[in-house]
């Protein structure tokens, strides 16, 4: 695998790239920037982290932007 686009709620929010024995997340949307550079074991782990981050947000800004 070279890289994989990560979509959340139908919107591309970042990519994962292999880095040693894990996947490094590169954010392309501001609302997931807190996860930028973090390493995950699977793409499912990335999606869970995105869901947790966006569902605990204290604002009601539309996540499609």
5-42 pLDDT, tens digit each: 999 999 999 999 999 999 999 999 999 999 999 999 99
Integer Cα distance of 4 and 15 in angstroms: 5
Query: What's the predicted TM-score (pTM) here?
Result: 0.82
Q: Which two tokens stand for residue 18?
A: 């292999």
For residue 1, name the pLDDT band (cuts at 50, 70, 90): low
Q: DSSP letter at 26?
A: E
């Amino acid at each position: 695998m070279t890289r994989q686009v990560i979509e959340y709620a139908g919107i591309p929010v970042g990519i994962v790239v292999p880095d040693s024995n894990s996947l490094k997340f590169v954010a392309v949307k501001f609302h997931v920037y807190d996860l930028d550079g973090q390493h995950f074991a699977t793409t499912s782990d990335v999606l869970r982290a995105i869901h947790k981050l966006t569902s605990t947000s204290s604002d009601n800004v539309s996540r499609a932007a």
